[in-house]
Amino acid sequence: MSKSIIERGLELANSGAYRRVEEIEREVSFEGYLNASQYFAAPSFRKQLRGLMQSARISRGA
């Protein structure tokens, strides 16, 4: 894993493939990132992820 958990979360949110923060949290945990719940519990990080997911869906026309 060359990316930090935050970088990976942002990347996944920006992919447009996820609709909920919990889905991204599950994915990064599955990929082997430890303590994902600690990072994903931060309100500011969750808000940033939601914004990216929404923008990605709009740009993909979903």
For every one of its 62 residues, what pLDDT tens digit does the chain have, with 9 covering 90 and above? 789 999 999 999 999 999 999 999 999 999 999 999 999 999 999 999 999 999 998 887 75
pLDDT for the residue numbered 61: 72
Give the C-alpha distances (Å, rounded to integers) separating 27 from 5, 36, 44. Answer: 11, 10, 19
- Give the residue carrying structure tokens 């979903």: 62
Q: Does residue 33 contact residue 8 with C-beta atoms inside 8 Å?
A: yes
Angle at alpha carbon of residue 25, lines to 20 and 30, rounded to 5°: 130
List % helix, strand, coil for the chain (3-state, nearest 5).
Answer: 70, 0, 30
pLDDT for the residue numbered 62: 57
For residue 12, the Cα-to-chain-centroid distance in whole angstroms is: 5
